[in-house]
A and B are shown apart, each in its own frame.
Chain A
């Protein structure tokens, strides 16, 4: 148990921030990303001895958690809208994926670019940016390796376009 604990701690320190980021890349806001990441990590800790690939495992679980939290929140938001309409015509704010989050320009640019991708491309790219190889991604997301590679190509192209915009303009004009 002692050894397992140390192993888990090392894993947590290495992967926690990246796991939160993974969820942010999928479009979840900071609070949901952190809550879901912690829940997934808690489950991983509870069954540490039985998990073969912890990094992949927590990503799959955390995504499910985040999606559930998001739905709960959306439902609450909906109820608020209904309640507000009864009181007066005031519109409550829609869910903002960037709420409570100060971002530098290029951070925002990358996130915007990733979040604008079709869902499957976005997911494949998020795994790839976390260091998973196409064959591994294919296995974890239950896709054909060729599909993964094609998604990656498109996602990379979109990201590159963003990079061109933020880095290219001065270069072109100069």
Chain B
């Protein structure tokens, strides 16, 4: 009897059975061949999360910069001639392209660019002229 049944009913054997079966369960759940693939996936989603995070941060920085720019523009608009004020409003608040502004106001696009550049220069913010 005991020859083909190596398990005696002792604590040791119970522990051995438990740990062997649990080891089997782990292997059954995740065969060793699956581990590398899982590791690859983890790294990939970590990188993706990092990129998403960077994109979100970038968009946020852009939004904040945009808002700050608009806020700084608002009080200054009053000092501009009517047409220049209108151009800046259309360009920076209603987000039109220079071509759309030109059409809206019935002037040439070159003229829009020149007027907006002059208006911005007049507002004393040289850095923004590149717009």
A residues in contact (CB < 8 Å) with B? 9, 12-13, 16-18, 20-21, 24, 30, 33-34, 37-38, 41-42, 45-46, 101-104, 106-107, 110-111, 129, 159-160, 163-164, 167-168, 170-171, 174
- Is B46 a contact partner of A42 (Cβ separation < 8 A)? yes
- B80 interface hit (Cβ, 8 Å): no
- Is B22 a contact partner of A9 (Cβ separation < 8 A)? no
Near A by CB (< 8 A), chain B positions 26-49 give 26-30, 32, 35, 38-39, 41-43, 45-46, 49
18 sampled A-B residue pairs with Cβ under 8 A = A12-B42, A16-B35, A16-B38, A17-B29, A21-B22, A21-B26, A34-B38, A38-B38, A41-B38, A42-B42, A45-B43, A46-B46, A46-B50, A129-B18, A129-B22, A159-B18, A168-B9, A171-B5
- B14 interface hit (Cβ, 8 Å): yes
Considering the chains assembled together, what is the distance between the CA atoms of A123 and B18 in angstroms? 16
* B29 to A, closest residue via Cβ: A20
Interchain nearest-CB distance for B33 vs A (Å): 11
CB contact between B30 and one of A20, A107, A160, A171 (< 8 Å): that residue? A20
CB contact between B39 and one of A9, A24, A106, A159 (< 8 Å): that residue? A9
- B65 interface hit (Cβ, 8 Å): no
* B1 to A, closest residue via Cβ: A174
* Chain B residues whose CB sits within 8 angstroms of the CB of A174 once the complex forms: 1
Interchain nearest-CB distance for A172 vs B (Å): 9
- B66 interface hit (Cβ, 8 Å): no
* Chain B residues whose CB sits within 8 angstroms of the CB of A159 once the complex forms: 14, 18
* Chain A residues whose CB sits within 8 angstroms of the CB of B24 once the complex forms: 104, 107
Q: Do A21 and B25 contact each other (CB < 8 Å), given the known contacts A42-B49, A46-B50, A171-B9?
A: yes
A to B contact number (C-beta, < 8 Å): 87
* Chain A residues whose CB sits within 8 angstroms of the CB of B43 once the complex forms: 45
* Chain A residues whose CB sits within 8 angstroms of the CB of B13 once the complex forms: 167
Interchain nearest-CB distance for B8 vs A (Å): 9
- B118 interface hit (Cβ, 8 Å): no
* Chain B residues whose CB sits within 8 angstroms of the CB of A170 once the complex forms: 5
- Is A24 a contact partner of B46 (Cβ separation < 8 A)? no
- Is A107 a contact partner of B28 (Cβ separation < 8 A)? yes
Considering the chains assembled together, what is the distance between the CA atoms of A40 and B6 in angstroms? 40
* Chain A residues whose CB sits within 8 angstroms of the CB of B28 once the complex forms: 101-104, 107
Considering the chains assembled together, what is the distance between the CA atoms of A110 and B28 in angstroms? 14
- Is A42 a contact partner of B29 (Cβ separation < 8 A)? no
- Is A34 a contact partner of B46 (Cβ separation < 8 A)? no
- B58 interface hit (Cβ, 8 Å): no
Q: Do A107 and B21 contact each other (CB < 8 Å), given the known contacts A16-B35, A38-B38?
A: yes
* B8 to A, closest residue via Cβ: A171
